[in-house]
Amino acid sequence: MGVLRTWYRILNGMYDARSEPVGNLDPVSRWLIATRSVVFVMTVNSVIIGGLLYVLYDRSAASLGLLLLLALVVLGLVAAHGASNLFNDYWDAKHGIDTSEGYFRPAYMPHPSLSGMMSSDSLFALGLAHLLVMVMVAAYLVVLRGPVVLAFAGLGVFFMIAYAGGPHPLKRVGLGEPAVFLVWGPLMVGGTFYVLAGTLPAWVIVASLPYAVSVTTVLFGKHIDKIDYDAKLGVKTVPVILGEAATKRVLKALIVVAYAAVVGLVATGYLPVWALISLLALPKAGQLFRALDNPRPKEAPPGAVAWPIWYLGFVFGHNRRFGALYILGLILCCALPLYV
Q: So what's the pLDDT on residue 123?
A: 93
User: Please, which contacts does 44-48 make with residues 24 or more away whose CB atoms are closer than 8 Å?
Assistant: 44/74, 44/78, 45/211, 45/323, 45/324, 45/326, 45/327, 46/77, 46/184, 46/185, 46/188, 46/189, 46/192, 46/208, 46/211, 46/215, 47/73, 47/74, 47/77, 47/188, 47/189, 47/192, 48/327
Tens-digit pLDDT profile for residues 16-47:
666 667 777 888 989 999 999 999 999 999 99
Kindly report the average pLDDT of the chain as a whole number.
90
Give a yes or no: residue 172 inside a domain. yes
Does 145 fall in a domain? yes
pLDDT attached to residue 309: 86
Beta-bridged to residue 173, according to DSSP, are 236
Is residue 189 domain-resident? yes
**Count of structural domains, the chain:** 1
- Indicate the range of 157-171, 195-209, 242-256, 305-319 predicted with least confidence: 157-171
**Residue at 93 is within a domain:** yes
Q: What does the pLDDT read at residue 292?
A: 97
Q: Is residue 5 part of a domain?
A: no
- 259 within domain boundaries: yes
Tens digits of per-residue pLDDT, 317-340? 999 999 999 999 999 999 887 654
Domain that holds residue 150: 24-335
What CATH number does residue 203 fall under? 1.10.600
In a domain, 11, yes or no: no
Query: For residue 163, is it within any domain?
Result: yes
